[in-house]
Structure 1
Amino acid sequence: MVSDSNRLIAGRYQLLRELGRGGMGVVWEGRDTLLNRQVAIKEVLLPDGVPPEDRERQLLRTTREARTAAKLNHPSVVAIYDVVEEDGRPWIIMELVSTPSVEEVVARSGALPVWEAADVGRQVLSALRSAHEAGILHRDVKPSNVLLTEDGRAVLTDFGIATAEGDSSLTSTGMVTGSPSFLAPERVRDVDYGPASDLWSLGATLFASMVGRSPFERGDPMATLNALLNEEPDYRRIPPVMHPVLKGLLRKEPGERMDAAQADRLLTEVAASKPVHTDRLVPEKKDKKQRGGRRTLLAAAAAALVAIGAGGVAYLKSTPPAVGAAPTATARPDTASPAPSSAAPASAAPSATPTPTPTPTRTGIPVRSWNSPDGWTITRPARWRGAREEFYTHWTRRDGNAHLGVRAVYATTDPHQVLRDAEETLKQQAQDVVGVRRRTVVHQGVKAVEWEFAWTAAEPGDQPWATQGTRYREVRRALTIGDTAYVLSWTVAEPEWRRNVRLMRQVIDSFTVGT
């Protein structure tokens, strides 16, 4: 296995650095020395224990399939430039795409808005139709293999385990490639499969883009495969407008599955529901009909990171994760849209509300809606860095002069007592705590207590994000839903307070607990 950089492959392609490795190979960032351009280079490897004759057959098949996939010319397909042989194995030279995958965007930013998920699905479907017409099956459609560019383009990558339709070499070697939670049932049963199998995987990918995980993911491979074969998806967290296309794509029997033309028609209709000139911005009350803003996925300046697993390649940004790990879907606080729904008692099993549609505010601050795995949703500024702890989720503006937090409190459900306890704690950790006002408000039909105050940051304590000596103005709102009290906090450096009040109200008022 290659471990050194700066090596030349086929006398032309220079290995610069390893970007990721998995069971089917290693992916490198490289340079085409002839054309002087950056490329991604996939070094194809097979798992240990494969018999020599099967190993040779697999490597030959991989070379043939990559060369077949290189014939595809579609804006939503990552280009394959070349396939060369070195050390008796194929190396696939591909376009280097420096944008995040759907998996990365959802992990950092929460569920995609329904219109965006539909638009992504429509573009990937177009790429699949082009491949299918050329007799090529992808076989590993999943969120990490769909890239999202800054201009709204969705790009399907890694045809590295793709196969020509009718090729039986997959089963002849006993190898099953692809990600278990996104496999079509007929592939698990090892029966005839075709383009309909890729459509199933697309349906599971779209489901994951709005929930954060495959509808069949159970944490254990065998449990996942059992669910895939015997259980139906739970659509309660999916916006109803997407139910017809998902239910059509996720039919167990390929012969009953929705075809590409039907799926394209439904996805196009849903994608058309996107508000004109909107994207990730808060509503402007001055003129409800005016909309504006540009879509922001993740922080710009980030290098490409290519990760591979089970033979798949996922192009990700190398920006540090916006938040810590989250349950099941690794969902993390980093998204937004307004349109809060009415609050309701929290249930034991979190249930996300439909992703609201963003519109612009006079401040022009991009926002996204974070759907917490714990069952609540809040709008938050899109470019703020987030973190998630056991009972506390928060975001900080990059200059450290603004902060948003959501804390779950289980010791008491009395919002007055919650704020009194918070005040005592703050006075021990900050200087010159001065109350501005304390009042009772109604938060989406629920009585809440709101405390506005100012304080000066001392040594880092419960507010490690704060700058020592800086004077801050803060609002904390405490409310009780079911058996849980929530404390919402918005903090800004005092000189900036007045011009951020409108955004603060938009964000605080957006907090919703799912039913």
Structure 2
Amino acid sequence: MVGRLIARRYLLRSELGRGGMGVVWQGHDTLLNRPIAVKEVLLPAGLPELDRERQLLRTTREARNAAKINHPSVVAVYDVVEEDGRPWIIMELVQGRSVEEVVATSGALPIRQAADVGRQVLSALRTAHELGILHRDVKPSNILLTQEGRAVLTDFGIATAEGDSSLTSTGMVTGSPAFMAPERVRGEEAGPASDLWSLGATLYAALLGRSPFERGEPMATLTALLTEEPDYRRIPPAMHPVLQGLLTKDPAQRADAEAADRMLAAIGSPAPARARERTAGRTPWILTAAVVAAAAGVAFALLRPTGEAVVPVAQRASTSPLPSLTQPVAATPTPSPTPTPTRSRPPLVRAWTSPAGWSVKRPAGWRGSRKDAYTEWIKPDRGGHFSIQEHYSTQDLTTIMNGEAALLPGGVLRTRRPGPGMLEWEARWTAPVPSAAWAVPGVTYRQLSRAILGGDTVYVLSWTAREADWGKSAKLGRRVIASFVPPERPGQDTEQGDQKPVQPSQEPGQPSQDPGQPDR
């Protein structure tokens, strides 16, 4: 096949790739003297002649539609020709590796690169959708990454069934099952939202290495796609909202392109230079009995059980002579003291145990919620926040810290290692930031985070308070973070020494499995 001339013009030089729908060749346009890519569309063996003709017409129509799209993130289609009764697509030659190849050889994409790739592909899809063109097969192997940072969507509208249906005339599903939208699997009408679902599954795979629904066998994959929700425990928390929005099974409720672009832009925006570290001043408050007594004009004496008089500070400070301690005190009848009712101080923390097995003494009175591998408590006035994120990752603590800190516009102020398998850092940032939807816009916050390695899981605990309140809030935050105990595993020695997991609180209104119950 190498050296063959297609349509007396396009020379095939080498095979670039092969798939179920065809072969892609590196070629040369002998008329315009430029490099090209040629896709040889393979038709199934034994296909009836009528079906072959329909497939040829369909492929030609789709390729010509794709040629209408003028976008830097879409492979340009130059021509469609017929040779040996088969369609051949002449396209722009893009030098780069697919997202699938990059992840397989170099590992998951950094979160900001994934967000940038997502925005480029999303922009291409929006342009196509405005022209009434659907892709129908967005997946990691169909996105090329160039050295210049360009993300290019290939195979636009070529490997598709007729019209908007997900099924062929024989009832077979076309496309890649692991990245296919549920409505297409069900044979329902598919629109732009179906491409957005596929983009969400593709971004998930770029961060984890596989589709959220891949089960190794097509029918099992399709069943998971229709009935199960993605596992976000290994996905960076900042990507959860956009992925959850795109991977909503009901297309009517799915995030649209505008909302997805807005969320991806917040993740991918570069952080400003590190803020200069400042020291928050504190004014000491001193309250003595002398001040209180002087202000009230009260003189009093207390008797110890032995009869020894104790003179208040205000009285000792006066110039009046002190009474002799050996002289009896005047027998002035005094009423029996009335016991003063005491009110117990409300607890600052309450014990809570996660269904995952870890435990912590979380701040009392804060509203909690639990998501996939993420638990948080928010102060009612939004002046404070505490969260625990479970990273199912083999990355080292420094890499995880850098990934978390990259999402904070203020940068890391300082780092320290409080113990084996731990890394702690402090940061300052001003809302809004994509990972802190609870924060008040315009307010500056200080955040203390600690990453704790526990087996194959890294727990990231973050305590956040308003910068103005940090002096009085940091002590409670360190107490809460220090109370964390990872789950016990059989045969595993914990680095917590003799510390035992905190048992669930038995106080009313505090069931151990629900961090969101209000305090009573």
Q: TM-score range by the shorter chain?
A: 0.5 to 0.7
TM-aligned CA distance change 1:447 to 1:136, over 3 Å: closer
Q: Which residue of 2 aligns with 1:225?
A: 222
Post-superposition offset of 1:380: 11
2:259 corresponds to: 262
Tell me the alpha carbon deviations over residues 388-419 of structure 1, each in whole angstroms, 9 at most, x when there is no partner. Answer: xxxxxxxxxxxxxxxxxxxxxxxxxxxxxxxx
2:4 to 7, 12, 16: 7
SS in 2 for 1:82: strand
Q: Which amino acid aligns with 2:250?
A: E
Deviation at 1:208, TM superposition (A): 0.9
Which of 34, 43, 46 aligns to 1:46? It is 43
Aligned partners of 2:218, 2:454: CA distance in 1, in Å?
A: 36
Partner of residue 171, structure 2: 174
CA gap 1:155/1:89 in 2 versus in 1, 3 angstroms: same
- Partner of residue 446 from structure 1, selected from 411, 417, 420: 420
- The reply on whether 1:116 has 2:113 as its aligned counterpart is yes
Choose from 176, 183, 187 the match for 2:180: 183
| Cα 1:163–1:225 shift into 2, 3 Å | closer
2:394 is matched with which residue: 336, 353, 376? 376
Alpha-carbon deviation of 1:34? 0.8
Deviation at 1:186, TM superposition (A): 0.7
The 10-residue stretch of structure 1 (184-193 or 172-181) with the greater mean CA deviation from structure 2: 172-181
Residue by residue over 1:362-409, the C-alpha shift from the partner in whole angstroms, topping out at 9 and shown as x without a partner, is xxxxxxxxxxx994114999xxxxxxxxxxxxxxxxxxxxxxxxxxxx
Give the 3 Å change call, closer, same or farther, for CA 167–244 of structure 1 in structure 2.
Answer: closer
> 1:148 Cα deviation (Å)?
1.4
Q: Which amino acid aligns with 2:127?
A: S
- Residue number among 92, 103, 107 corresponding to 1:106 in the alignment: 103
| Residue segments in structure 1 that go unaligned for 5+ positions in a row | 278-286, 290-344, 347-352, 355-372, 382-441, 449-479, 485-512
- Helix, strand or coil at the partner of 1:137: coil
Residue 52 of structure 1 and its aligned partner are, at CA, apart by: 2.2
Correspondent of 2:69 among 62, 67, 72:
72
- Aligned CA distance change for structure 1 residues 142 and 276 (closer, same or farther; 3 Å): farther
Name 1:131's counterpart in structure 2. 128
* Matched residue type, 2:395: T
**Counterpart contact for 1:161–1:177, Cα < 8 Å:** no
Greater RCO (CA < 8 Å, at least 6 residues apart):
1
Q: Within 5 Å, which residues of 2 pair with 1:49-448? A: 49-161=46-158, 166-168=163-165, 171-272=168-269, 274-275=270-271, 375-378=393-396, 445-446=419-420
Q: Is the 8 A contact 1:135 1:165 kept in 2?
A: no
Contact 2:134/2:191 (8 A) holds in 1: yes
Alpha-carbon distance, 1:167 to partner: 4.6
How far 1:253 moved relative to its partner? Answer: 1.1
**C-alpha spacing 1:11/1:240, structure 2 compared with 1 (3 Å):** same
Contact 1:54 1:173 in 2 (8 A): no
1:446 counterpart letter in structure 2: P
How far has the Cα of 1:162 moved from its partner?
A: 5.4
Of 30, 33, 58 in structure 2, the residue corresponding to residue 33 of structure 1 is 30
The answer to whether the 8 Å contact 2:234/2:393 transfers is no
Paired residue type of 2:231: D
**Structure 1 CA distance, aligned partners of 2:159 and 2:71?**
16
* Residues in 2 aligned to 1:483 and 1:184: alpha-carbon distance in whole angstroms: 32
Q: Whole-Å Cα distance in 1 between the matches of residues 249 and 102 of structure 2?
A: 28
SS in 1 for 2:15: strand
Which AA in structure 2 matches 1:172? S
- Shift of the 483–42 alpha-carbon distance from structure 1 to 2, 3 Å rule, reads closer
- Alpha-carbon contact 1:187-1:193 (below 8 Å) kept: yes
Which is richer in strand? Answer: 1
Query: How far is the alpha carbon of 1:192 from its aligned partner?
Result: 0.8
Q: 2:186 and 2:105 mapped to 1: Cα distance?
A: 34
Displacement of 1:49 after TM fit?
A: 3.6
Aligned partners of 1:74, 1:7: CA distance in 2, in Å?
Answer: 31
1:19 CA drift (Å): 2.2
1:118-156 superposed Cα distances (whole Å, 9 cap, x missing partner): 111111000001111111110110111111122222111
Cα RMSD (Å) of the superposition?
3.5
- Secondary structure of the residue that 2:79 maps to in structure 1? strand
Could you say what secondary structure the match of 1:376 adopts?
Answer: coil
In structure 2, distance between residues paired with 1:240 and 1:380:
17
Distance of 1:149 and 1:483 partners within structure 2: 34
**3-state SS of the aligned residue for 2:123?**
helix
CA–CA separation in structure 2 for the residues paired with 1:258 and 1:483: 33
Partner of 2:382: none
Write out per-residue CA displacement over residues 322-372 of structure 1, whole angstroms, 9 at most, x where no aligned residue. Answer: xxxxxxxxxxxxxxxxxxxxxxx99xxxxxx99xxxxxxxxxxxxxxxxxx
Q: CA deviation at 1:176?
A: 2.4
Q: Please give the alpha-carbon distance, in whole angstroms, between the structure 1 residues aligned to 2:139 and 2:272.
A: 29
Q: Which amino acid aligns with 2:141?
A: S
* Contact 1:66–1:162 (Cα < 8 Å) also in 2: no
Q: Decide whether the 8 Å contact of 2:392 with 2:456 is kept in 1.
A: no
Any idea what SS the aligned residue of 2:27 has? strand
Alpha-carbon distance in 1 for matches of 2:455, 2:201: 33
User: Quick check: 1:112–1:210 contact (8 Å CA) kept in 2?
Assistant: yes
Q: Is the 8 A contact 1:26 1:45 kept in 2?
A: yes
Distance in 2, matches of 1:125 and 1:40, equals 23
Displacement of 1:447 after TM fit?
7.5
Q: Which of structures 1 and 2 has the bigger CA Rg?
A: 2
Deviation at 1:173, TM superposition (A): 4.6
Q: Could you tell me whether the CA contact under 8 Å between 1:137 and 1:165 is conserved in 2?
A: no
Please, which moves more after superposition, 223-232 or 115-124? 115-124
Tell me how far apart the structure 2 counterparts of residues 163 and 107 of structure 1 sit (CA, whole Å): 26
Aligned amino acid, residue 246 of structure 1: L
SS in 1 for 2:97: coil
Match of 1:226, SS state, is: helix
CA distance 1:175–1:96, shift in 2 (3 Å): farther
Distance in 1 (CA, whole Å) between partners of 2:62 and 2:421 is 62
Kept in 1: contact 2:214–2:221 (CA 8 A): yes
Aligned-residue offset at 1:20:
2.4
Number of aligned residues: 307
1:426-472 deviations in whole A, cap 9, x for unaligned? xxxxxxxxxxxxxxxx9772289xxxxxxxxxxxxxxxxxxxxxxxx
Q: Say if 1:102 and 1:146, in contact at 8 Å, map to a contact too.
A: yes
Deviation at 1:51, TM superposition (A): 2.4
Give the Cα–Cα distance (whole angstroms) in 1 for the partners of residues 120 and 267 of structure 2. 13
- TM-aligned CA deviation for residue 275 of structure 1: 3.8
Distance 1:46 1:160, change over 3 A: farther
Whether the aligned pair in 2 keeps the contact of 1:249 and 1:258 (CA below 8 Å) is: yes
